[in-house]
A and B are shown apart, each in its own frame.
Chain A
Amino acid sequence: MEHKSLRRTVYDRTMRILIRVCAALTCLLLAFLIGYIFVNGIPNITWQLLSTEPSFRSDTIGILPNLVNTLVLILGTLLIVLPLGAGAAIYLTEYAQNRRVVAAIEFAAETLSGIPSILFGLVGMLFFTELLGWGGSIRAGIMTMVIMVLPTIIRTTQESLKSVPQSYREASLGLGSGKWHMIRTAVLPSSVDGIVTGYILAIGRILGESAALLFTAGSASILSSNLLQTINSSGGTLSVALYMYVSERGELEVGFAIAAILMFLALLLNLTAKVAGKKLKR
C-alpha cells in the first residue's frame, strides 16, 4: 500500500511539474514575441510615418494610405457582411423548415470557414478583378473579404441564436407576438453579445489578411482624393504593406513599426470583443 501511494505521489508531482513547464514555455514564447515586436517596432513609429504618403522624391515612407485602405476595407466589408450574415443566420435558425437543406448549408459554411484564405484570393482575383473587370481595387478586396468572412459570421451568429432558450420564443409567441417581433425583441437581445463578438473576430481576420488581398486589392500606397476613388483604385492594407516593405524594399524598421501597430490594433479588437461581450450581456 505504502509503495503504491509513493509511486502515485511521484507520478503526480512529475506531471504537475511537466504541465507547469509547458504553461511557462507558452507564456514565455508569447511574451517574447509581443515584447520583441514592440521593442523593435515602437521606436520606429514616427509622426511622419503615420501621417504621410510614401515619397521617392524625398525618400520618405509613410503609411497613412495603408491605414486609410485598411479602414475603408474593414468598414466596406462590414457594411455588406453585417446585414447579409445576420440575415442568413436568422433565416437558417429561425425560419428554414427543411432540416436537410439547413444541415447542408451549415456543413458548407463550416468547410468554407476552414479553407486557406489564398483560395478566396484566387477566386476573388479571377472573378472580381478579371471577369467583372474591376481590376486590382479595394472594391474587389471588399467583395473577396465578404466571401471569406461570411461563413464564419454565419456560424458564430447561428451559434448565438441557438443558445437562446426555446422558452423565450414560446413566451413571446404566447403573448401574441408575430414571428419577426419575437426574433427582434426576445431572441436578438439575448444573443447580441455573441453576435457582436463574432463580428469583432471577423474584423481581426480582415486586419491580418495579406495573401487574398494582395491578389485582389493590390498593394498601392497612394492617397485618393475621395472615398469613391479609394474604393475603385488599388490599395494595400497594413498587412500587405508590411509584406511589401520588408520583402520588396528591405525596410525592416518600417516592417516592425507596422507590425507593432497591427499588434496594438489586434489587442484593441480583442479587448473590445471581451468588453462588448460582457457589457451587452445583461
Chain B
Amino acid sequence: MQAGTIISAQDLDLYYGENQALKKITMDIPERQVTALIGPSGCGKSTFLKTLNRMNDLVPNVRIEGTITYRGQDIYMPKLDVTWLRRHVGMVFQKPNPFPMSIYDNIAYGPRTHGIRNKRQLDEIVERSLRGAAIWDEVSDRLKKPALSLSGGQQQRICIARALAVEPDVLLMDEATSALDPISTSKIEDLIAELKKQYTIVIVTHNMQQAVRISDRCAFFLLGQLVEFGETTQLFSTPKDKRTEEYITGRFG
C-alpha cells in the first residue's frame, strides 16, 4: 500500500449470483485527490464504486471476496458498522435524488440522523454545507422551499451539500453529472476541483474529457478488470496497455 492511500482494494472479486462483475481488482486510492473511474458500460466501474461504501449490500445475491480497507480498516469485516462507514464515505448518485422536503430539511437530514438536534448548530451546518457545494447564494433566501422545485443542476448540488453535511472523508460520485446540462456540469466540475482540497473524491464518468479535466488519477475498467491505473495525464498521453489506448482513442466503448 502506497503512502497517502485512503482506500485500498486487494484482489477484489464481486459476483452477482453466478455472474462475476469484478475480477481481482487491486487499487490504492490516494487521499485528497480526484480519482476517475472510466470504461465502457457494464465494465464494473459503478459496481466497484458502490463496494467502497457497501451500497452493493442492497443488491440481493451479491457476493464479495478479497478485501477493501478504509484507513486501514477492513470494511467487509462482519462486525463493521455500515452506518459508520457510509457516514465517512458519502455518495452522490447519478440522478439528483433530493428528498421531497424543504432544502433545509434535506441538508439537515444527515446531521439529524446522527443525533444533532440543536437548531443553531443545524443552521450553521446547513449554511456551511450549502456554501461548500457552491449553491448557498442561489438558495439562501428560500431554504424552506421544497428541494424538488429547483432545477436538476441545483438539485444535484443540493445532494452534494447533503452529503457534505455529515462531514465525510471521501465522496463517491456515480456519474453525478450525466443527467445534467453542460452549464450545470461545468459548475459541478468547478466544485469538484474546490472540494478536493478537503475531500477525497472518486468519480465514475462516461465522459473522457471530464476525466481529463477534473481527475488527478484515472482507472480504466474493462469487462470487470482494472486494465490500467495511473496519473491521468500519463494515462491519456502514453497509455501502457493497448486496450486503454484503443478505448481513449474511441476505437470502442
Contacts and interface: CB of A to CB of B under 8 A. Distances in A.
**A in complex with B:** yes
A190 B166 contact: no
Nearest to B106: A171
A131 interface: no
Contact of B162 (A170, A175, A181): A175
A175 B109 contact: yes
A175 B93 contact: no
Given A175-B162, A176-B83, A190-B100, A170 B110 contact: no
Contact of B101 (A176, A177, A282): A282
A175 B166 contact: yes
A186 interface: yes
A5 interface: no
Interface string B111-147: 0111000000000000000000000000000000010
A71 B97 CA distance: 43
B97 A171 contact: yes
B113 A175 contact: yes
B99 interface: yes
B17 to A, nearest CB: 14
A172 interface: yes
B84 interface: yes
B109 A167 contact: no
A272 B202 CA distance: 49
A165 B113 contact: no
Nearest to A176: B87
Task: Describe A's contact surface by its main secondary structure.
Answer: helix
B224 to A, nearest CB: 23
A97 B84 CA distance: 24
Interface stretch (B6-14, B53-61, B238-246): B53-61
Interface in B56-76: 58, 60
Interface in A154-192: 165, 167-178, 181, 185-186, 189-190
A190 to B, nearest CB: 6
Contacts of B113: 172, 175-177, 181, 185
Interface in B30-78: 53, 55, 58, 60
Given A173-B55, A175-B109, A282-B146, A186 B86 contact: no
Contact of B159 (A171, A186, A190): A171
A174 B86 contact: yes
A243 B99 CA distance: 50
Interface residues of A, number: 20
Contacts of A97: 60
Contact of B114 (A165, A172, A176, A282): A176
B109 A172 contact: yes
B97 A170 contact: yes
B235 interface: no
Interface string A87-116: 000000000010000000000000000000
B88 to A, nearest CB: 8
A223 B28 CA distance: 78
A184 to B, nearest CB: 10
Contacts of B153: none
Contacts of B90: 174-175
Given A168-B97, A185-B113, A282-B146, A175 B86 contact: yes
A167 B86 contact: no
Contacts of B95: 167
B218 interface: no
B29 interface: no
A76 to B, nearest CB: 34
A175 B112 CA distance: 11
Contacts of A175: 86-87, 90, 109-110, 113, 162-163, 166
Contacts of A172: 99, 109, 113
Contacts of A169: 58
Contacts of B98: 171
Nearest to B87: A176
A38 to B, nearest CB: 40
Given A181-B113, A190-B100, A174 B93 contact: yes
14 contacts: A167-B97, A170-B55, A172-B99, A172-B109, A174-B53, A174-B163, A175-B109, A175-B166, A176-B83, A176-B85, A186-B99, A190-B99, A190-B100, A282-B146
**Cβ-closest 8 pairs across A and B:** A176-B87, A167-B97, A175-B110, A174-B91, A176-B86, A176-B83, A171-B97, A177-B113
Interface of B: 53, 55, 58, 60, 83-87, 90-91, 93, 95, 97-101, 109-110, 112-114, 146, 159, 162-163, 166
Given A167-B95, A174-B163, 18 more contacts: A97-B60, A168-B99, A168-B100, A170-B91, A171-B98, A171-B159, A171-B162, A174-B91, A175-B90, A176-B83, A176-B110, A176-B114, A185-B109, A185-B113, A189-B100, A189-B101, A282-B100, A282-B101
